[in-house]
Structure 1
Amino acid sequence: MKLYDIAEPILKNLEVSPTLSLYINLVVNLIILGIIAYILDYVFKKILIVCLAVVAIRTKSSFDDFLVANKTAKYMAHLVPLYYISKKVPLVLDKFVYWESLFTKLVKFNIIILSILILRSILNALRDYLKLQPKYKDKPIDSYVQVIMITMWIYAFISFILILFDTTKTTLLTTFGSVSAVIILIFRDTILGFVASIQVTVNDMVRIGDWITVEKYGADGDVEEINLATVKVRNFDNTTSTIPTYSLISDSFRNWRGMINSDGRRIKRHILIKGGSVRFLKDEELEHLKRIQFISTYIDKRKQDIDKFNSSNQIDKSLSINGRNLTNLGLFRKYIQQYILSHPGINKDMLLMVRYLQPTEKGIPLEIYCFSKDKKWENYEYIMADIFDHVIASIKYFDLELFELQPAKNQDDFTL
């Protein structure tokens, strides 16, 4: 006697009506099918989990450890009872054609979903494994996984419709073409995120760990995560900013990776010198300034060149404006340049200069442009502060004045 025919002879002996006998037999068969499926699931789950755990312990690779952590064996074990059920449904429901068709579709739905879950667990394990590898540590692995999963869910959704309505792929694609505008409208953000994620990855615009600044979203810090929809940034004040992935290709942002990978971090800052304090220097003043070691040799050489020029051109030096002359601002600029060249925190192999910017109503901007050796934020700020401490304190030795607003008698007015 077959397993699924146990109830039928018993019901005949009890002289149960054929209709009631048919339904009771169905219930009994479903219970038997459920018990067998549960036993198969339990047994194979134990076997696969134990086997994978043993393999994970004995191998050096951590990939199988992540497979265990993401419950891959558990999902794979569920396939065995589902496969068994799919084979026995025609036998159990042979006299219930409608229910057989419905139940078969339900089993197929479960197999598709379970296959997606198995794939997801494997991809998650692969993602966790690759994040530990130095080669892939800065790559947006989450975006890759999400793209694959979206593709698989789209395929699963199409399969659901094909199974549910017993239609063909051609008919389904034709229908999708008719409602494509609605689909694009509904999934606009997802589509934009998908496109942006690919462009960001292909063009290597942002990596995990990059320091980026996105003023529009108030983000200024290190990239912690890049996925299909958002980019997670840990700001330097320990807050977190979430930026739409699409904004990285539609809006402007600053990536500091080039600076970090270079040999120095740029210092570009200026001070404002009062224009009225700039003047020509007399010989006795030059003698006094020669005591400043950084420019002593420079003053001697420049004075010789200037005197030679003025003498050969018979310049009338009764007025300082005639001919060539040294100015207090020019010597101060040269002094700052020599000071920066001697500073141990500055990279001498990169661009270094002290220059004037366009004069403004607030004075003459004297800009220092150079690169610090240390790129770490706090050390960089210390080096820059150290330089400007010295620069500001040195101004008075050249009889120059730093611009600053002075409050007038009337509190609403200010004078220089």
Structure 2
Amino acid sequence: MSILEKLSKKNLASEHLWRQIIGALFIWRPKFFWAFVILVIPLSGGITFILTSHISQPSGKFLAFTEFVILNLVVWLTIKVCRRLLEVFNLKKDGNSITWCYVTILFAIGLWIISFVFIFKIENNGSIATALGVIGSLLTWIFQDKIKGVVTFFHLRLHHLLNIDDWLIVEKLGVDGEVQKITLTSVIVYNWDTTTSTIPINALQTEHFINLKSMKDGKTYGRRMLQTFILDTGWFRVLSDDEIEQIKKEVVAPDITNRESVSMNLFSEEIHKGMLNAQLYRLYIYHWLMNHQHISQQPRLIVNWMEQKDGGMALQVYAFITDSTLAQFEWQQSQIIEHIIKSLDWFGLRLYQSPSAFDVSNSNIYLTKEPADYRKEVKI
């Protein structure tokens, strides 16, 4: 590693912007230098010759050529420095600096266009201005998606709608993971299934997306749990006095003893004669969730019956789990679901499930006097 490379990397690692710019400016990459010498300088000379010939300024060719080469050099170096700094800022996950780098690149391109007009005095030549206008319109039509991407980028960044490390969900595009990189035209997302998705940034302007950054950082009440359980209404009935006393003894009392729960005490006070087992079960689940250490009672905790359907009665649980990270949330949600299913039996309830072929073949109800024999006959 040369001294220049060591000095460049040292400056790039600095926290001061001016030192980072110097470090990016003095990175020695021969292929970039020769690309400039071989392509940019001859191209500048050719454009200068053609335009000055049409403008009839043969005496100003050398001056225009010099100005045009200097302009290309400045813009070329600006873009190279910004691209190098973008790599550093992406590693540091510095979203604001990334935005300013792209602003600088666009400003450099705009400066090139304005300076190009003044160097060759195109405003005084209608034919050249018209030709460039047609070319500009054609390029705008060709690169319309890129232009939309630039507009979307600044819209998202100025309104703080998207940052690196945000948890992004775009259901229509199958994206669910953390944002790794944001450019003027694309967003790279590392999905939870360890795959990487690259989506055009303008898709975030047209498609619905969800940003879970605030929830991930613990700035909300937690992550929403929304589960629906279909109960078989054939098991709904009024509980007898003995059954109510048994539930108080075997279900409510252990919870009060073990947890010293105010919520479970309130639940025991709400129990009265003539209650439906489904009603008592709904109240139990509600108070049990209120007492759960991983459930937030804000912004809402709802356990309610939904519309009756052919399959049964739907019990919906709407709650917020305080453990919002993916693994912990799924673990706590699974434990809650398992308890809800297990406690059904305490109240004499069952989940509804459509009969399977196994259920039908093992039923004790037959259409004929003899049960069907599904064994294949073997001819001897």
TM-score normalized with structure 2 length: 0.71
Distance across 2 between alignment mates of 1:161 and 1:393: 77
Change (3 A) 1:303 1:159: closer
> Out of 331, 334, 347, which is 2:283 matched to?
334
1:281 aligns with 2:239: yes
Matches within 5 A, 1:371-382: 371-382=320-331
> What SS is found at the alignment partner of 2:145?
helix
Q: Residues 199 and 60 from structure 1, CA distance in 2 versus in 1: closer, same or farther, beyond 3 angstroms?
A: closer
Equivalent residue for 1:269?
227
Percent of pairs with identical residues: 25
Q: Cα distance 1:233–1:170, how it changes in 2: closer, same or farther (>3 A)?
A: farther
**Which residue of the other structure, out of 187, 200, 224, is the alignment partner of 1:231?**
187
Q: Aligned partners of 2:199 and 2:8: how far apart in 1? A: 42
1:121-174 CA-to-partner distances (Å, cap 9, x unmatched) read 4434655665577xx7344x44542343234234325545765x6644774655
Aligned to 1:256: 212
Superposed displacement of residue 398, structure 1: 0.7
Q: Which residue in 1 is equivalent to 2:94?
A: 137
Task: Tell me the equivalent position of 2:44.
Answer: none
Q: Kindly indicate whether residue 318 of structure 2 is the aligned counterpart of residue 369 of structure 1.
A: yes
In the TM superposition, residue 114 of structure 1 has moved relative to its aligned partner by 1.6
Query: How far is 1:220 from its partner?
Result: 1.0
1:221 to 165, 177, 201: 177
C-alpha displacement at 1:372, in angstroms? 1.2
Task: Give the conservation status (yes or no) of the 8 Å contact 2:237–2:276.
Answer: yes
| Alignment check: 8 A CA contact 2:267 2:284 kept | no
Please tell me the residue identity of whatever aligns with 1:364.
M
Alpha-carbon contact 1:193-1:228 (below 8 Å) kept: yes
Check conservation: 1:264, 1:372, Cα contact below 8 A: yes
Match of 1:192 among 148, 156, 178: 148
Q: CA 1:407/1:169 → structure 2, altered by over 3 Å: closer, same or farther? A: farther
Relative distance call for 1:373 and 1:115 in structure 2 (3 A) is same
Q: 1:169 to 1:258 in 2, by over 3 A?
A: farther
Distance 1:156 1:208, change over 3 A: same
1:369–1:279 distance in 2 versus 1, CA, 3 Å: same
What's the offset of the Cα at 1:376?
A: 0.9
Per-residue displacement from partner, 1:54-81 (whole Å, max 9, x unpaired)?
9967x96454553354234879xx9xxx
Bigger CA drift: 208-217 or 341-350? 341-350
Match for residue 21 of structure 2?
A: 67
1:301 aligns with one of 269, 278, 281? 269
Where 1:225 maps in the other structure, the secondary structure is strand
Query: Considering only CA atoms, is the larger Rg found in Structure 1 or Structure 2?
Result: 1
CA shift, 1:375, in A, is 0.9
Contact 1:354–1:367 (Cα < 8 Å) also in 2: yes
Unaligned 5+ residue runs, structure 1?
1-45, 83-97, 307-324
Quick check: 1:267–1:384 contact (8 Å CA) kept in 2? yes
- Residue 32 of structure 1 corresponds to none
Equivalent in the alignment of 1:150: 106
Give the residue type in structure 1 aligned to 2:295: I
1:384 positional shift: 0.7
TM-score, normalised relative to structure 1: 0.66
Give the distance between the partners of 2:293 and 2:95, measured in 1 at CA: 32
- Counterpart for residue 376 of structure 2: none
SS at match of 1:113: helix
What residue number does 2:342 align with? 393
- Secondary structure, in 3 states, of the residue corresponding to 2:105? helix
Pairwise CA RMSD: 3.9
In the alignment, residue 223 of structure 1 is paired with which amino acid? V
Once residues 328 and 158 of structure 1 are traced to their aligned partners in structure 2, the CA distance between those partners, rounded to angstroms, is 79
- Counting matched residue pairs gives 323
Alpha carbons 2:164, 2:179 under 8 Å: kept: yes
Say which SS state the counterpart of residue 223 (structure 1) adopts: strand
What are the within-5 Å matches in structure 2 for residues 119-130 of structure 1? 119-124=78-83, 127=86
